[in-house]
Structure 1
Amino acid sequence: MENIRTLRREELDESITLSCFAFQYEVSPEEREERKKRMNPDRIWGYFVDDKMAAKMHIHDMRMYVQGKPLRMGGVASVATWPEHRRGGMVAKLLERGLREMKEDGQTLSCLHPFSIPFYRKYGWELYTDYKTYELKAEQLPQPVHTQGRIQRADRDWALLDNVYRQYAGGYNGTLVRDEAWWQHTVFKQKGGQAAVYYDDAGEPRGYILYKVKNSVLDIGEMAFLDESARKGLWRFISNHDSMCDTVRLQAPADDGLPFLLPDPRIVQQTVPYFMARIVDFQAFASQYGFAASGSEEGPLFVRIEDRHAPWNDRLFRLIVDESGQASVESLDGQAQAREEQSASVLTCGIGALTAIMMGYKRPAFLHQTGLLTGSAETIERWERTVPRRSSYFPDYY
């Protein structure tokens, strides 16, 4: 007998064991107990065969900044199947069940880190963010520039860092809203080392780095700054480590312009496709989205979404965006749908392409040019005006 349900607390051990096997890592007995304390069995879905766990999937309840607004997001993670049950369609059934549960729970967006991008594209998830990696030799570091501010080590003061992070993260699409537990158990553990904060001449924190130095390499786990003075001040601080390190490594948003600002921009750099996203419930998501303000003379927008794994999205929608950028969103069917679908004003695309647009990862004109959405030139231009330009970034991992 096959069954999909959330886990019971006594099944958490089995879930951890499956994760350890599938993702090839080990945990000590102490780590296992600590994990179990933080795990919520109501957020873990298992696929059971004859009352034995065959596959499972976690859905974390998170919030994410989109167009400056924090929206609820279902973070899909730890999708795993025992080898004897693989290629039986269990993960597909878990994902489809997860989409229904996220919709009912009010999580209008979902994100995940893919083991295979083509696999998750089949179910509507699409890439929504890249990041850059930099590697600089000591002699390539920026020349120190005097600023009015100062740098002070912060001893992992999460509230102080989060004060800067919230403002920094809100400027991107797809960054997490962090709480104390996320800082303590995820950010500090993953990015480690020292924390240093830049204060401006008024004593306000305007930037920070999390970093460590080992074997003559300075690894910057995270860098955030709110203005140019903070950026320069942080790099002056980094350059002061030149006697301790031969190499500096860091990760940055895909739109970061550091190389252009260096005396020698021929540094080692790479762009890495990273997390995927999916609109779970378009009507609810678009109703919360911050569109560009529309003039009173502008008519409605129409979008025909193709989404065979979430039938509530697989239809035609009409959006009316007001002067504040708030949209009223209506699902059309019957005669209204038939009439509007014949109109050249309808944008037609899959849920993945639409997600890439709404998250700021790709523009409508590019996806139209490459054949991933259809619509008249006027319709494409209208969507270009209505979806604000805001880059995506995800500096975390789960």
Structure 2
Amino acid sequence: MADIRDELQIRPVTTDYLEQFNDLLSYVFQVTAKEVEESGYEEGELELDKRPVLEKADVIGWFHDDELVSSLAIYPCRVNIHGVPYKMAGLTGVGTYPEYSGHGLMHDLITRGLQKMRDNRQWISYLYPYSIPFYRKKGWEIISDHLTFELKDTQLPKQVNMPGHVERLEIDDEDVINTYNRFAAQTHGAMLRNQLNWDEYWRWENEEERIAGVWYDENDVPQGYVLYWIANEVFHIKEMIYITQEARKALWNFVAAHFSMVERVRGNIYKDEPLHFLIDDGDIKQTIKPYFMARIVDVFEFLRQYPFEEGGKPFHFVVHDPMASWNDGVFGVQWVENGELEISHDPLGPAVELDIQTLTTMLMSYRRPSYLRKIERIKADSKAIRNLETIIPMEEPYFSDYF
């Protein structure tokens, strides 16, 4: 019996296949016409809106004759990793029609995609997982959390006297964009958003219902914002960011000023920073779930840019990678003249053995080396672990985007 793969070929997905690309994703992810309509799109607009994806992203797929049957898309992104801007490959649009599943099509697309990312000098990749086990097998690991919370109106923080003022603005106002850019530039894990990233951020939201409350300090400099909407006596917070703690307090003053208008406040936090510790009445409803996953695309190049803390001793990683052969091996880390970091393939100092998933979540500071060793995700002696604890920055990732 002939292998169905003999009838298929991999090639780039161009804008000529926009409708097929949209149909594939809508089928695989079960996006209904009602959901599209509720997001503020009119008939035909979603297909047009996906055009920039095919124009600006690297999209590859399997074709049966001229029919697209499997695809993945790689968005050009940038993220802040402990203060260093990295080019990041945003992996999305991953899907295969069920009648073509079980033939290794996606395995081959991801292998091809990783090579494309490497060619593009995108040393790390993020994705939103529809199946955590599937992506773990491909080398991705959890690196961020999504917390949701709900407060009663009586649990809102008490108003405190703060200088400055809040203005209600359009969500694409220049001060909103610039405030986010300043926040992201000092926040580990955050997307350094371009226009495509902002478009994706709002793709499944009805922008017309959203408002930005921007807080300006006494010097009239914006220091934070809350993106929100009000419906059925509920104040919904899509995202609240603040560059200073004064901004945090002032934005909660603004939310609390709606006391007479709402019964509850529901919102999102994209970092493991429980709200209950920051308000007087901490007996609130909170949930936490994994959010985004990441994987290092090229270990050697990622390490060359990584901002290890000073004072480290030479050591080497022994990395196992099921999908990228160039990552499978030894990576020596040492500091030479003037404290300059040097990466090699030499087995310097003690060994730290781990897979690509564990290396990623550890260097992203989602989980610490000592914990990963405790749960047997790392093989290393105590001296090597203490060294890693010293040189890997502590700040956990913040990531609020979606694509």
Match in the other structure for 1:97: 112
Match in the other structure for 1:33: 48
Determine what percentage of the aligned residue pairs are the same residue. 33
Q: TM-score, normalised by structure 2?
A: 0.90
Flag structure 1 segments of 5+ consecutive residues without an equivalent: none
Q: Is the 8 A contact 1:187 1:396 kept in 2?
A: no
| SS state at 1:78 partner | strand
Distance 1:86 1:326, change over 3 A: farther
Aligned to 2:23, which of 17, 21, 25? 17
Distance 1:191 1:330, change over 3 A: farther
Counterpart residue identity of residue 320, structure 1:
Q
Distance in 2 between residues matched to 1:254 and 1:280, nearest whole Å? 24
Counterpart residue identity of residue 138, structure 1:
D
Match in the other structure for 1:283: 300
Counterpart residue identity of residue 139, structure 1:
T
| SS state at 1:256 partner | coil
Cα offset for 1:385?
A: 0.6
Match in the other structure for 1:79: 94
Distance 1:159 1:286, change over 3 A: farther
Match in the other structure for 2:260: 243
Match in the other structure for 2:290: 273
Distance in 1 between residues matched to 2:203 and 2:98, nearest whole Å? 34
Distance in 1 between residues matched to 2:370 and 2:261, nearest whole Å? 48
Q: Is the 8 A contact 2:52 2:196 kept in 1?
A: no
Residue deviations 1:336-388 (CA, integer Å, cap 9, x gap) = x5xx6xx6x11000000000011110000000011000111000000111111
Match in the other structure for 2:329: 315
| SS state at 1:73 partner | strand
Where do residues 185-196 of structure 1 align in structure 2 (5 Å cutoff)?
186-187=201-202, 190=205, 192=207, 193-196=210-213
Q: Is the 8 A contact 1:289 1:327 kept in 2?
A: no
Residue deviations 1:225-246 (CA, integer Å, cap 9, x gap) = 1112111110111001111111
Q: Is the 8 A contact 1:107 1:280 kept in 2?
A: yes
Asked if 1:330 corresponds to 2:336, the answer is no
Cα offset for 1:50?
A: 4.0
Match in the other structure for 2:3: none
Cα offset for 1:43?
A: 1.1
Distance in 1 between residues matched to 2:357 and 2:178, nearest whole Å? 33
Match in the other structure for 2:70: 55
Distance 1:45 1:324, change over 3 A: farther
Counterpart residue identity of residue 382, structure 2:
A
Q: Which stretch has the larger CA shift, 110-119 or 37-46?
A: 37-46
Q: TM-score, normalised by structure 1?
A: 0.92
Match in the other structure for 1:390: 395
Match in the other structure for 2:39: none
| SS state at 1:190 partner | coil
Once superposed, what is the RMSD of the aligned Cα atoms?
2.0
Q: Which stretch has the larger CA shift, 316-325 or 53-62?
A: 316-325
Distance in 2 between residues matched to 1:321 and 1:132, nearest whole Å? 38
Aligned to 1:303, which of 292, 308, 317? 317
Flag structure 2 segments of 5+ consecutive residues without an equivalent: 1-6, 37-42
Distance 1:49 1:184, change over 3 A: closer
Residue deviations 1:293-330 (CA, integer Å, cap 9, x gap) = 23xxx542210001121110000011124688753211
Cα offset for 1:201?
A: 1.1
Q: Which stretch has the larger CA shift, 187-196 or 308-317?
A: 187-196
Distance in 1 between residues matched to 2:281 and 2:338, nearest whole Å? 44
Q: Is the 8 A contact 1:6 1:41 kept in 2?
A: no
Match in the other structure for 1:366: 371
Distance 1:14 1:215, change over 3 A: same
Asked if 1:5 corresponds to 2:15, the answer is no
Counterpart residue identity of residue 300, structure 1:
P
Q: Is the 8 A contact 2:77 2:194 kept in 1?
A: no
Residue deviations 1:239-297 (CA, integer Å, cap 9, x gap) = 01111111101111333242123221010001111110000001111111111123xxx
Counterpart residue identity of residue 367, structure 1:
L
Match in the other structure for 2:310: 293
Distance in 1 between residues matched to 2:283 and 2:228, nearest whole Å? 23
Q: Which stretch has the larger CA shift, 219-228 or 157-166?
A: 157-166
Distance in 1 between residues matched to 2:98 and 2:53, nearest whole Å? 27
Distance in 1 between residues matched to 2:56 and 2:170, nearest whole Å? 33
Alignment: residue pair count = 386
Distance in 2 between residues matched to 1:96 and 1:30, nearest whole Å? 32
